Amino acid sequence: MTDEQYQAAIKQFIASQFKYQLIGNVARVDLVPKQTPDNFVYYIAFVHFAEWFDTDQARALQADVTDSSKRAKLQFHERWFWICNKNTKPLTADEVAKAKLEWQMKEQQHAIWLAQQQAMSQWHHQMMMNAMGYQMARGYIPHPIMSGAAEMASTGFTSTSTDFPPLAPLTRQSNMRPAAQIESDVCHNGCCNSDDFDN
């Protein structure tokens, strides 16, 4: 689902809730994206009515919205509700389109900045590898085994002895280095006086 489809679904849901709950017919819903300090995107909805119904529900919501001592709410789920406030600065459809375009430009600028940061990080890594003597003909491409090891480590996987290939069998070397010469055959500090050794 694209961002456009997601926003269209939200607008449709909001409009249908106001009609279903006998509040009124909605002419349009404007969604304004906002961002929390930890970069979570949420939307504020501005609901423009084509018609308010002449019902108790509509009159009660209008009364709560205009009364500053009350918090007007529209319950749309047993656990969830929308807080409804009067829009003191209504925007035209053109102004909303302009704000949406500005938001999209900010998102694109952020995506470009992230791509630049990633490229700089890769360039820095390659320069460090070159400085340490690891020459690479083309861009840094990690070895598939190392990529897999890094991915497994990031998920908390630890290896076992079965994860490694078996060691080559030990063989006798033909040219062995002679052992160091023993300077004395006298036992030091009683190391040979234990029951494990035959004196």
Helices (H) and strands (E) in the chain, counts: 4, 4
Domain-embedded: residue 125 = yes
For the segment 163-190, what is each residue's pLDDT rounded down to a tens digit? 556 666 665 555 555 555 555 555 555 5
Tell me, what's the pLDDT at 102?
A: 82
Domain match, 11 and 51 both: yes
**Domain contains 70:** yes
83, pLDDT greater than 70: yes
4 by Cβ neighbours in 10 Å (0-12 / 13-18 / 19+) ranks as exposed
Say if residue 24 is exposed, middle or buried (CB neighbours under 10 Å; 0-12, 13-18, 19+): buried
Burial of 17 (0-12, 13-18, 19+ CB in 10 A): middle
Six-digit token string for 55: 């019902």
In this prediction the pTM is 0.48
**Tens-digit pLDDT profile for residues 32-71:** 888 888 888 888 899 999 999 999 999 999 999 999 888 9
Question: Is the same domain home to 100 and 77?
Answer: no
Q: What is the domain count for the chain?
A: 2
Domain boundary among 134, 164, 194: 134
pLDDT at 199: 45
Per-residue confidence (pLDDT) for residue 22, from 0 to 100: 95
Residue 110 belongs to domain spanning: 91-134
For residue 80, the model assigns a pLDDT of 92
Residues 113-147: tens digit of each pLDDT: 888 888 888 888 887 777 776 555 555 555 555 55
- Asked if 42 and 105 sit in the same domain, the reply is no
Q: Do the beta carbons of residue 57 and residue 22 sit within 8 Å?
A: yes
Could you tell me if residue 190 is inside a domain? no
